[in-house]
Amino acid sequence: MADENHPQPIRQTQGSAALEAATLLSSNQKFSCSNVLLALAISLLLLIIAGSAGANAATQSSPAEIVRRAAQEGKLAYKLTTPEELKALLGPAEKEAVKRDGGMDILDLYYPGVRAQFGRMREFSVPFTLLWINAGGKGVDIGQERQLILRNEGDLNRLDTFWGYAGVSLARLDLRSHLDILEKMPFDSRTVWPESDKMPMDFNPATLLEEGKNPGLGVRSLHEQGIDGRGVTIAIIDQPLLKDHQEYADRWVEYEPVGLTTAMMPPQMHGPDVYTFDRTGGMSWAAPYMAGLAALAYQVKPDIDPKTIVDLWLKTAMQTDVGPIINPVGFIEAVRKVQTK
């Protein structure tokens, strides 16, 4: 039985501390004033600790904290993480919004304290992948400013054939059974490849890069004849250029950016001096190629007019099942025969 000198012990548990103290105070047992004050102090302290522990537990399990922790552990990666992977971490989103931005489809996912944006090129059959994510009102580092490192072979299909593997590290992967996709994707001299024993036998990136420097269609045979456009001035109207690129850095006469964009961005494109290999192309590739052939024509016949150049392109083109293809050697032979004033 408890007495004044040996009070009944109080169980110091978070959930029952206050109840125990109240029960003891309401009993017929006699407590000294000091014991009563001690019991109240212990009860109050335990309630404060319990509240603090609950708040910490809530913070640790909040979507923002989960996102920050996942990013630190490398579970969230720029241009690799899909919406499904984020939902596996956080559950269903409170809100989803889809919109278009230029040539991209954009998907925004909203959670309490978290907003994530995913994107994909509209013309390519690839999944949405993470572009940026905010947690607690602050941006989370998911590697936008670092080299993109593919985590596993499944990531090979998350990049589109527009940018492909340019500047990407594939060093961790075993590519021996992935020749089909490697043959479709562009890459550049910054691409990091795995060791040779992890590469397909018939795929040599270094050889392909060297072959890609060849303008093709017999143009090098024209260069060997001294027909290389020397002495011809070309005006380029394009987006900002890499002025110091090794292919033309010492050939500029004048470079003058014009238009409203010069107030918003530097007049020179920022980026490394690299070579890129790509099997696809369009107007932005065809126009410079044709402009180069026009320069060769002006070297051979300085007085030739633009209409004649276009006519000869069409007249000398090689006919194929997919349409006419320019014939540089035949074109220059035809230019030589043109009578000018």
The pLDDT value given to residue 113: 96
Q: What is the pLDDT of residue 168?
A: 96
Q: Give pLDDT, residue 260.
A: 46
Cα–Cα dist 297/302, whole Å: 7
* Residue 20 reports pLDDT greater than 90: no
Comparing 27-31, 187-191, 223-227, 235-239, which segment has the lowest mean pLDDT?
A: 27-31
| Residue 64, number of CB atoms within 10 A of its CB | 19
Cα 284 from Cα 191, distance rounded (Å): 23
Residue 15 pLDDT more than 50?
Answer: no
Confidence (pLDDT) at 289: 83
More confident residue, 228 or 250: 228
Q: For residue 64, which of 17, 114, 13, 138 has the smallest C-alpha distance?
A: 114
Lowest mean pLDDT among 200-209, 241-250, 291-300: 241-250
The string of pLDDT tens digits covering residues 101-134 is: 988 999 999 999 999 999 998 888 899 999 999 9
CATH 3.30.1450 describes domain 63-146: yes
| Banded model confidence at residue 85, pLDDT cuts 50, 70, 90 | very high
Q: What percent of the chain has pLDDT over 90?
A: 50
Confidence at residue 297, expressed as pLDDT on a 0 to 100 scale: 95
Question: Residue 60 pLDDT more than 80?
Answer: no
Over residues 292-313, mean pLDDT: 94
Tell me the three state secondary structure of residue 9. coil
d(Cα 39, Cα 7) in Å, to the nearest integer?
11
Mean pLDDT, the chain, integer = 81
What proportion of the chain, given as a percentage, has pLDDT over 70? 71
Are 341 and 303 within 8 A, CB to CB?
yes
Above 90 in pLDDT, residue 335? yes
d(Cα 278, Cα 208) in Å, to the nearest integer?
Answer: 10
| Whole-number pLDDT of residue 12 | 46
pLDDT value of residue 252: 72
Looking at residues 267-272, what average pLDDT do you find?
Answer: 50
Confidence band for 47, pLDDT divided at 50, 70 and 90:
low
The per-residue pLDDT for range 142-157, each reduced to its tens digit, is 999 999 999 999 999 9
- Mean pLDDT on 251-259: 67
For residues 191 and 276, the model is more confident at 191
Q: What is the mean pLDDT of residues 177-206?
A: 94
Burial (CB < 10 A; 0-12, 13-18, 19+), residue 115, is middle
